[in-house]
Amino acid sequence: MLHIYLREMRNLMSAGALALAGSVMSLAPAQAVEVQRVVSPAGIEAWLVEDDTVPIVAMNFSFEGGATQDPAGKEGVTRLLAATLDEGAGDLDSEAFQARLEDLSVSIGFDTGKDYFYGNLRTLTPTIDEAFELLRMAVKEPRFDPEAVERMKSQIAVGIRRDERDPDSIASRNLMKTMLGDHPYALRTTGSEESLMSLAPEDLRSQHAHIFALERLRIGVVGAIDAATLAPLLDKVFAGLPKETSLRPVPELTAEDSLEIEETLPLPQTKLVFGLPALTRTDPDYQAAFVMNHILGGGSFTSWLYEEVREKRGLTYSVGTSLAPYNAGGLLLGSAATRADRADETLAVILEQFNRMAEDGPTQAELDSAKRFLTGSYPLRFDSSGKIARQLVALQNVGLGIDYFERRNAEIDAVTLEDVKRVAHRLLAGKTPTVSMVGPKSN
């Protein structure tokens, strides 16, 4: 048993060093991120930020085609695929694969959103070859052993059952269903417990072949690695995957406003979530909408909603809004929680601020304050190697360009008061958010 204890201690220490390194290495890139394009011998492209501060490499990647690609009746298959790719690969079963990751202090993970399937790798440079070999196995040679698949299905099912009782999840699910109807964006990435339990290993193999294609691949790498070293590793992991695949088209998003749904549950508070149609990330008005949302509800302690709903009236502990730009359309979403007997009052105050923004817009001083915060806080997005790698992938997914880090703050600074008022009128004027309430019956 002593050798097991020593191995566990070594892994804990290495994992701690890996986490610390990920935080420390970001200090230099936070000031000035220089991105270079790397193309492998097989033509696979990645965006790279070199940083030799500490011996760590972080890689994130995505394939277009997330949970929206789940076939009818097999909802949750892409989420299950993400959960099982590292549960055994090549000649290593689940236990052996996970043990190898622990021995090397390597982190490999997968996840899915609505539009994209994601993967990531974290490794120290002394184990970089072994780490990329394990990732190659997971990407190209997943096993999908029945026992591992059933175990992951059971774990995901626990989360589904928990969400069925969670007021936040219920309210959000009801909102999306009410706003979007049968659109794929309204469906849970986990699927239902019934659809999840019907899935078999062959469904995972089919979905893997459907999504994993080189034309849909985007890669971001950060750390102590240069282009010459990275290029052949890209081929090692990804070369040989299908070049093309035919994704099922996602219908253009049409969101209904001015609707209301209420579900009664014996809870201490009423949960409110609300939403309106908004913009995609590539819309020319997006930066103006981003600034407008910060003033309306995105600024944690400075927004109109925070001031009017919490500070002046004490109706809620937290309230806010955010933009959700999907590929096929965008949403403006918000939430709050309050006493049941004050839920209508809380909602009325929120709607007053929406109308105020649509009709009057912010002052120049409020706009200037918002822009100072949004530009000044931007370096916080670069406080770890993983965050930078995720940003590199996100920029490629929406086509913002390799120079976006350099021009982003200038785009925010260029937003004028007229821009904000125009986009506020475009998104909010004459519209009432669709609202979902979950909580006790109000008197």
pLDDT digits (tens, 9 = 90+) for 183-203: 999 999 999 999 999 999 999
Mean pLDDT of 237-249: 96
Rounded distance between C-alpha atoms, residue 140 and residue 209, angstroms: 10
Q: Would you state the pLDDT for residue 13? A: 32
Q: Is the pLDDT of residue 252 over 70?
A: yes
Residues 375-413 have pLDDT tens digits of 999 988 888 899 999 999 999 999 999 999 999 999 999
Residues 416-432 have pLDDT tens digits of 999 999 999 999 999 99
Mean pLDDT of 249-266: 96
Instruction: Name the fold adopted by 260-439.
Output: Cytochrome Bc1 Complex; Chain A, domain 1 (3.30.830)
Rounded distance between C-alpha atoms, residue 337 and residue 346, angstroms: 9
For residue 396, the surrounding DSSP H or E stretch is helix 385-397
Contact yes or no for 421/361 (Cβ under 8 A): yes
Q: Is the pLDDT of residue 232 over 60?
A: yes
Q: Is the pLDDT of residue 300 over 80?
A: no
Q: How many CB atoms lie within 10 A of CB 115?
A: 21
Rounded distance between C-alpha atoms, residue 321 and residue 278, angstroms: 12
Q: Would you state the pLDDT for residue 33? A: 80
Confidence band of 28 (pLDDT split at 50, 70, 90): very low
Residue 301 tokens, joined? 């302690």
What is the share, in percent, of the chain residues with pLDDT greater than 90?
90
Q: Would you state the pLDDT for residue 11? A: 39
187's CB contacts (< 8 A; 6+ apart) are: 67, 70, 75
Q: Would you state the pLDDT for residue 4? A: 32
Q: Is the pLDDT of residue 32 over 70?
A: no
Rounded distance between C-alpha atoms, residue 442 and residue 438, angstroms: 11
Residues 92-145 have pLDDT tens digits of 999 999 999 999 999 999 999 999 999 999 999 999 999 999 999 999 999 999
Average pLDDT, the chain: 92
What is the share, in percent, of the chain residues with pLDDT greater than 70?
92
Please tell me whether residue 244 adopts helix, strand or coil conformation: coil
Q: Is the pLDDT of residue 40 over 70?
A: yes
**Starting at the edge strand that comes first in sequence, how are the strands of the sheet with 217-223 ordered?**
36-39, 45-50, 217-223, 56-64, 116-124, 107-112
Confidence band of 442 (pLDDT split at 50, 70, 90): low
Q: How many CB atoms lie within 10 A of CB 243?
A: 10
Q: Whose CA is closest to 126, among 104, 100, 109, 107?
A: 104
Q: Would you state the pLDDT for residue 136? A: 98
Rounded distance between C-alpha atoms, residue 277 and residue 261, angstroms: 17
Please tell me whether residue 219 adopts helix, strand or coil conformation: strand
Q: Is the pLDDT of residue 20 over 60?
A: no
Residues 323-381 have pLDDT tens digits of 999 999 999 999 999 999 999 999 999 999 999 999 999 999 999 999 999 999 998 88
Sequence ranges of the chain with CATH classification 3.30.830.10: 33-238, 260-439
Rounded distance between C-alpha atoms, residue 51 and residue 55, angstroms: 9
What's domain 33-238's superfamily in CATH?
Metalloenzyme, LuxS/M16 peptidase-like (3.30.830.10)
Is 0.85 surpassed by the pTM of this model? yes
